[in-house]
Amino acid sequence: MNQLDQLKQFTKVVADTGDFQSIAQYAPQDATTNPSLILKAVQLAAYQPLLQNVIARTQNASLDERMDQLLVAFGLEILKMIPGRVSTEVDARLSFDTAATVARGKKLIALYEQAGISRDRILIKIASTWEGIRAAHILQSEGIHCNMTLLFSLSQAIACAQAGAQLISPFVGRIYDWYKKSASTAWIEPTAHEDPGVKSVKQIYFYYKHFGYQTEIMGASFRNTQQIIGLAGCDLLTISPDLLAQLQKSDTKIDTQLNTSHMPREIKALPCDEIAFRTQMNDDAMATEKLAEGIRLFCIDAVKLEKLLQA
């Protein structure tokens, strides 16, 4: 079997793209999107009709509503290609507003349900700020499943699990990027075992399994197939089409890297009320910087999407 088929024996494979026409050949279980991926897709000629259709039928709607309609339009097309769930992201500009995030999440679910899609097939993506995590707790209590994104630390992961989030998306590649940039010329390319992004997900995985949290873990934002293979056995992995293609072309054997037999002997429970969360984040320069950067970049791309809808 090729590496993609081998990986599917250990892990649910998820496609990370807005280019839904590229999904079918990899037969993923689920798919994820974000503002940057949707922006990239709508600029392709193949998706201009979809964009123009949304513009034409939402001319009298508010800009927020038009944006939601565009995101859901892509989600609906993606759901035709997969048997499982699609993740649709709440506007990153609401990352520090719990009430607004809850309201936007409900609007997205309503649009999917109006199109005849069960909420069980939708994950609402929310940035893993304290306010976003509180919003997820509210949405989960109402049967709306959440995917907590822009996650870079164990403290974020614990808070999400305690809030009852359905799924978290730790960003492997962006963690790797931070450490590589920080090391500068002293950087030595790590093996998968020593990759800082891979190690972060493993830490979260063992913490969840040790304390019995049911929140799913989905490694995300990969830079190479080595990072993906290093997390074989994780609950889910969301992978770009380029890396899915590389896995599909290789027949090198892979083995599971994450299972409870590898559990560390001692895992200390960490406090995770608001004060502890904010303190731990403040002490973690990487997580603080990458969370802030990720929100900024998604906000920039959201504005670009709005300009396309207004053009």
* Per-residue pLDDT reduced to its tens digit, 183-204: 999 999 999 999 999 999 999 9
What is the percentage of the chain residues whose pLDDT exceeds 90? 96
Give the range of the structural domain holding residue 200, as residue numbers without chain letter. Answer: 3-310
Tokens of 71: 């995101």
Mean pLDDT across 137-159: 98
Instruction: Supply the CATH number for residue 243's domain.
Output: 3.20.20.70
Query: pTM value?
Result: 0.96
| C-beta neighbour count of 249 within 10 angstroms | 11
* pLDDT above 90 (res 262): no
The string of DSSP letters for 55-88 reads HHHTTTS-HHHHHHHHHHHHHHHHHTT-SS-EEE
pLDDT band at 2 (very low <50, low <70, confident <90, very high): very high
pLDDT of residue 311 exceeding 80, the answer is no
Residue 302 to residue 91: CA distance in whole angstroms: 7
| Structure confidence by residue, pLDDT tens digits, 210-233 | 999 999 999 999 999 999 999 999
The one-letter amino acid code at 260 reads T
Determine the 3-state secondary structure of 30 from DSSP.
Answer: strand
Q: Number of structural domains, the chain? A: 1
209: annotated active-site residue: no
What does the pLDDT read at residue 260?
84
- The pLDDT of 124-134, averaged and rounded, is 98
Give the span between the Cα atoms of 256 and 97, in whole angstroms: 39
Listed in sequence order, the DSSP H helices in the chain are: 3-10, 35-42, 48-57, 63-79, 98-114, 130-141, 154-162, 172-183, 196-211, 225-229, 241-249, 274-283, 285-310
The active-site residue, picked from 8, 107, 125, 307, is 125
> Is the confidence at residue 142, as pLDDT, over 90?
yes
Per residue in 96-112, pLDDT (tens digit) is: 999 999 999 999 999 99
Give the model's confidence band at 261: pLDDT under 50 very low, under 70 low, under 90 confident, else very high.
confident
Tell me the pLDDT band of 309, cut-offs 50, 70 and 90.
very high
> Residue 86 pLDDT more than 90?
yes
Q: What is the pLDDT of residues 29-82, one digit of tens each?
A: 999 999 899 999 999 999 999 999 999 999 999 999 999 999 999 999 999 999
